[in-house]
Structure 1
Amino acid sequence: MQEGLLNELRRVYGSLTLRLVESLKTPPRRLYIRVNTLRASIEAVLEEMEREGVRAWRDGEIGEAVYVELKGPYKLPGDVEKTIVVDEKTAVSVMMGSNLYRPGVLKADSFRRGDMVRVVSKHGFYVGVVEATVSSSELFRMNSGLVGVNVASVYSAPRISELSVYRKGLVYPQGLPAMVTTIFLDPREGELVVDLNASPGGKTGHVVQYTRGRSRVIAFDRSESKITVLKSNLEKLGLAMNVLPIPYDSRYAHLDFNLNGRVDKVLVDPPCSNIGVRPKLVFDKTMSDVSNNASYQKQFLKTAHSLLKKGGIVAYSTCTLTSKENEEVVSYAVRELGFESVEAETLFTRCDKVYFENIVGYRFHPLNSDMPGYFIALLRKA
């Protein structure tokens, strides 16, 4: 990790910084799933998962959350000669026990169907072994599809996407802090909610679920492809009711839509340096990336302030750990935009409540209850 970025983390974590960085290299032991309670009860979902051989447990604080437990780490076989090189996202997926699919494959040795092939990240991390379902010549004529079945990985977890509860739209894989964000925002029936960074739709869908489909949601994201993913996820879950998806750069929503002063709640989950995402195979972000992100993030909060009614609330969240993208952005919103920092009404014990100048925020991290890195702050338009 770049020294400047380490120093940025030391501003928050001090002598624990190196321990924090090491923790980010490993996944949390619990992988969370949000039960779609508009379609099924928690009990019914747990029973159906168990019938398919997957044991899951209720979360102790979030009513719609269940989790499965991760197993590992395991030692990988050392005698596999042929190699497929994949991007970092695909490497993490295989490392956690997923099968290998064509998107994400960068290059490969020559191999035949049925061969055992090592999967290696582009930075050289050996993450798993797959049994090839295609030959290497077939691989590079494909745009999508299965390339290999995972036979060995560093960690193993149930393949949620292969379960009947997933296919029927009864569950949605989602990190616990992301669920907490919607709960802290506390959208109500009849309210108009705007999600400025909506794809792939986890928080948008949670708002619909939380209000039993009786809120109105405008879901922005910057491209048609992202909105297509959002629509697909919402429709699969049956949570598309009263949601208007719009492909648009939402930084300008206050200029091009007749929404100013009309919105009750806003979600801002902007692009960030993603330093809190676990597991992290490589730390390739720089302080320049962090500074650029912080400037970008402030633009969404400026738009949110224009859209909100007086007394309206914005939930600002990121999956990163830097103060510059978290506390300092929120402090800007209070100091320059006129927001008021407010505390969440719902208690949640597995995060740190932090104070910075005249704001309060909520930090999740691996050193606190084995969480991913995440930050939430609530702001009210005065």
Structure 2
Amino acid sequence: MKKIAILGSTGSIGVSTLDVVDKHPEMFQVVALTAGTNLELLKTQIEKFSPVLVSVLTAEHAAQLDRMLSGKKPQIMHGVEGLIAAATAPDATMVVAAIVGAAGLVPTAAAISAGKDVALANKETLVTAGHLIMDLVQEKGVNLYPVDSEHCAVFQSLVGHRKEDVSRLILTASGGPFWSWSSEKVAGATINDALNHPNWSMGKKISIDSATMMNKGLEVIEARWLFDIPVDRIAVHIHPQSIIHSMVEYLDGSVMAQLGMPDMKGPIAYALTYPARIPAGVKPLDLTSLSGLTFHRPDPLRFPALDLAYQAARSGESMPAVMNAANEIAVEAFLSGRIGFAAIPVAIEKTMELHEPHALRTFEEVLEADRFGRRTARKVLKFEE
């Protein structure tokens, strides 16, 4: 029986994780859940899975959730303290880190420090603090299993092969809703246009990141740390069918790929049970029904955010954390209707230009770089502090 804590249980990854857990009650027990403000869904999850600890965004949300529950209740906490408590729950043997954005860094680091294995769906943790996290993983002797479909595919394509034989990693990208649009048309995209992902059902923030291809840029940086591969040996190919989830090219020209239907329950289940495999409710792939598998190079005019991520990765040090923070502010501004779609990469680039990269030696220094990025992006966008 594997006992798990899920950070971000009401998001798309959290919901899919609980779906996998529900299919195998003999294998998993949920001991802790965290959510933001979706109390109705969290209430349903609590009633179904009976965690001993839950955490929500604020004290007001905690009080409201307490009023919504009846009978035996879990311990209800809130804020960063609650996230850390869930991430370090004594009974938990694995933590699913599925909080969106830089907010996932502190609880994920706490889980690793507490000796928990982590199924990582929060790419910003490695984007902002990759060297610190990987050093901590090694120090504590824990396992870090990638949940992003691309990194899970690379992970599977590396099994049984020597790292020194790897030529490059090839991360595939759906291209989102705009891969075939002109750059002029992309510039005028609406919120609904950007949220209309053709293949994946995801939360709003990651859907916008997919539309700008910043999501793929973040994944490039994440892959650099997960697999200890220089960023210039990590390529991105647009693959609109989302059937090949990523590939590893070896020195002899061989390419290993992982294929499957676009369904996050597959990589989630693999992370939860590695090296075993279990039925996860993913529809089998029927290759005979496919009309073709195609690949394209990303167009930098349509997707400037991808190049910005590569620039941040090459700069290193504090720049990825600042870039990520600026992206979060810009995406939030777009989703609230305060800026247009084309303004997202512009705000990120201007924020990066105003930052002088410096070494990050502690998680507090990472958080300060994140705060700088947010402050600067707001100034660039002329928002009031």
* Greater percentage in strand: 1
Specify the structure having the higher radius of gyration (Cα): 1
TM-score, structure 2 length as denominator?
Answer: 0.30
TM-score, structure 1 length as denominator?
Answer: 0.30
